[in-house]
Chains A and B, each alone.
Chain A
């Protein structure tokens, strides 16, 4: 599905340069939940954002769908993210002035996936039901609990049927019970839809849901 090859990434502040990734090679497979773990500062988020086309590499390549992301321009990366990737962040980052259903509608439109009005409405209902939020379809984020927001964020990450969902610590702001609910959801999605999930977590409890656990240590995969 996606191949990360010899990814290196350095950040330089003035004279000082810090190498955060030192040649990471990783394959992300469809229908599988891959968990990236490791201590804070080990480069997990950096690797995830490079894979998601949100950040450039210093060297190495990111192969996806026969293309190398490192050679695409900003507009091509945008189109790729909109059409093929889904995102779940630590904080849900929902649009404050849109209802649950409208969040999905916006993402559906952004992805360019062409659906009739009726089909789009049906699809939105289906995905909201999938995350157990259909009854909250007209709710605004400021009336939702943290767990509910994260469910809507997951629904938004799925509505356009992306090939890969990137999730950076999606349960970090939730209590244990809600974290397990969210993890079950992510796990089920990979089996049901064949979508690949690349997830960052440093919560040991959540690793049980992963098909594969990759530990990052010192800028390398251990």
Chain B
């Protein structure tokens, strides 16, 4: 006979409410986490989808890629020594025939070969332009022909526009590069240059850091709140049942079995609630509108689920010390007048 299950069956409403709260809090956590991930993908998918590696920028740039200047001589020397390629990024605008302006990040990157006079755009611009369209950079007066599209290439919330080295020189007005990317996890040390890992480099992008920090804080708050909710809810249920626990202990039921009953209920509720919130969280991936960046990553979602379960377990167990403490006699006497 399963005491845990029997109680849940008899008190459906009580457990349904607890389950709903866990469901709502975990769903909220998954949605926020999906937004955090979606936003960071929208902000910097160009970088996030590069392989692990080292980003080098000049040491006097104070961790700001746009201030970094790596002279061609040093650049070519580092690349011939360590491999990798140069990258430069610059915000700007492209204007089409009808005078419409689109904000883009001009990117020259060694792993995107483009011929002079052509650009390759992030696929998010596919809705506005097509291959063969002409777009102009007005400051330099250069006109480009769209040569194609690539997926997941956004930087600083703007779609990337990949250029040839010569065109990049036109737009940035310098032969120097901002960054050198060297694949691999080995820490590089080149005098005059500072090396950043991928995640370190992402965090030097000011908006990226700010967005992630606040959203992640919300996620952790929600997890802490859910732990407290579990704790408080089981505490209240245990307080209601404390007399019963005392009686059962008096009859000879093991304290361990009473804890097991509580844990079983916790696991059943958590499993059902998380299954529901995970399936909704993942299905939002498919239905979220294009301009709302939402992308719930399975690995993150399952990690969060594990944290939820653990936090719930600790909350409930902590409140379960009453079960251990209650003396049978105390409970028996409470029934008397």
Is there contact, CB below 8 Å, between A95 and B1? no
Chain A residues numbered 45-87 whose CB sits less than 8 Å from any CB in chain B: 45, 49, 54-55, 78-83, 85, 87
Query: Given that A78-B254, A106-B3, A110-B253 are known contacts, is A91 also in contact with B248, CB under 8 Å in the complex?
Result: no
- Is A130 an interface position by the 8 A CB rule? no
Choose one: B1, B3, B252, B333; the contact of A81 (CB below 8 Å). Answer: B252
- Is B13 an interface position by the 8 A CB rule? no
Is there contact, CB below 8 Å, between A97 and B250? no
- Is A93 an interface position by the 8 A CB rule? yes
Is there contact, CB below 8 Å, between B252 and A91? no
Is there contact, CB below 8 Å, between B6 and A82? no
Is there contact, CB below 8 Å, between B252 and A111? yes
Is there contact, CB below 8 Å, between A110 and B1? no
| Cα separation A156 to B9 with both chains bound (whole Å) | 22
Per-residue interface assignment for chain A, residues 106 to 130, with 1 indicating a CB less than 8 Å from any chain B CB and 0 otherwise: 1101110000000000000000000
| Cα separation A87 to B332 with both chains bound (whole Å) | 10
Q: Chain A: which residue is nearest B334 at the CB level?
A: A91
Q: Which of B252, B253, B254, B332 has the most CB of A within 10 A?
A: B252
Is there contact, CB below 8 Å, between B7 and A90? no
**Cβ contacts under 8 Å, A95 to chain B:** 3, 244, 248
- Is B186 an interface position by the 8 A CB rule? no
Query: Given that A97-B6, A97-B7, A106-B1 are known contacts, is A89 also in contact with B335, CB under 8 Å in the complex?
Result: yes
Count A-B pairs with CB separation below 8 Å.
66
How many chain-A residues does the 8 Å CB contact rule pick out?
A: 31
- Interchain nearest-CB distance for A36 vs B (Å): 15
Is there contact, CB below 8 Å, between B6 and A96? no
Choose one: B1, B9, B249, B335; the contact of A78 (CB below 8 Å). Answer: B249
- Interchain nearest-CB distance for A139 vs B (Å): 12
Is there contact, CB below 8 Å, between B251 and A81? yes
| Cα separation A80 to B252 with both chains bound (whole Å) | 8
**Cβ contacts under 8 Å, B251 to chain A:** 81-82, 87, 107, 110, 156
Q: Chain A: which residue is nearest B243 at the CB level?
A: A93
- Is A102 an interface position by the 8 A CB rule? yes
| Cα separation A89 to B328 with both chains bound (whole Å) | 12
| Cα separation A87 to B248 with both chains bound (whole Å) | 11
Q: Which of A82, A97, A107, A111 has the most CB of B within 10 A?
A: A97
- Interchain nearest-CB distance for A60 vs B (Å): 18
Is there contact, CB below 8 Å, between B253 and A82? yes
Q: Which of B6, B251, B336 has the most CB of A within 10 A?
A: B251
Size category, B interface:
20 to 34
Chain B residues numbered 295-337 whose CB sits less than 8 Å from any CB in chain A: 328-329, 331-333, 335-336
- Is B247 an interface position by the 8 A CB rule? yes
- Is A209 an interface position by the 8 A CB rule? no
- Is B11 an interface position by the 8 A CB rule? yes
Is there contact, CB below 8 Å, between B247 and A102? no
Is there contact, CB below 8 Å, between B252 and A49? no
Per-residue interface assignment for chain B, residues 234 to 263, with 1 indicating a CB less than 8 Å from any chain A CB and 0 otherwise: 000000000110011111111000000000
**Cβ contacts under 8 Å, B332 to chain A:** 49, 54, 89, 93, 168
- Interchain nearest-CB distance for B13 vs A (Å): 13
**Cβ contacts under 8 Å, A45 to chain B:** 333
- Is B173 an interface position by the 8 A CB rule? no
- Interchain nearest-CB distance for A146 vs B (Å): 12
Is there contact, CB below 8 Å, between A79 and B329? no
**Cβ contacts under 8 Å, A82 to chain B:** 251-253
**Cβ contacts under 8 Å, A91 to chain B:** 335-336
- Interchain nearest-CB distance for A82 vs B (Å): 3
Is there contact, CB below 8 Å, between B244 and A96? yes
Per-residue interface assignment for chain B, residues 82 to 100, with 1 indicating a CB less than 8 Å from any chain A CB and 0 otherwise: 0000000000000000000
Q: Chain A: which residue is nearest B335 at the CB level?
A: A91
- Interchain nearest-CB distance for A97 vs B (Å): 4
Query: Given that A54-B329, A89-B335 are known contacts, is A98 also in contact with B252, CB under 8 Å in the complex?
Result: no
Chain A residues numbered 125-155 whose CB sits less than 8 Å from any CB in chain B: 140
Query: Given that A87-B251, A90-B335, A96-B244 are known contacts, is A49 also in contact with B11, CB under 8 Å in the complex?
Result: no
Is there contact, CB below 8 Å, between B10 and A87? no
- Is A8 an interface position by the 8 A CB rule? no
Q: Chain A: which residue is nearest B255 at the CB level?
A: A78
Choose one: B248, B249, B252, B336; the contact of A83 (CB below 8 Å). Answer: B252
**Cβ contacts under 8 Å, B254 to chain A:** 78
A-B pairs with beta carbons under 8 Å apart, 22 shown: A49-B332, A54-B329, A78-B254, A80-B252, A81-B250, A81-B251, A82-B251, A82-B253, A83-B252, A87-B250, A89-B332, A90-B336, A93-B243, A93-B247, A93-B332, A93-B335, A97-B10, A105-B1, A106-B1, A110-B252, A111-B252, A168-B332
- Taking A54-B332, A83-B252 as given, write out 9 further A-B residue pairs in contact, using a Cβ cutoff of 8 Å, ordered by the A residue number: A79-B252, A85-B252, A89-B336, A91-B336, A96-B10, A97-B7, A106-B3, A110-B252, A169-B336
The 5 A-B pairs with the shortest beta carbon distances in the complex, nearest first, are: A82-B252, A91-B335, A97-B10, A81-B252, A97-B7
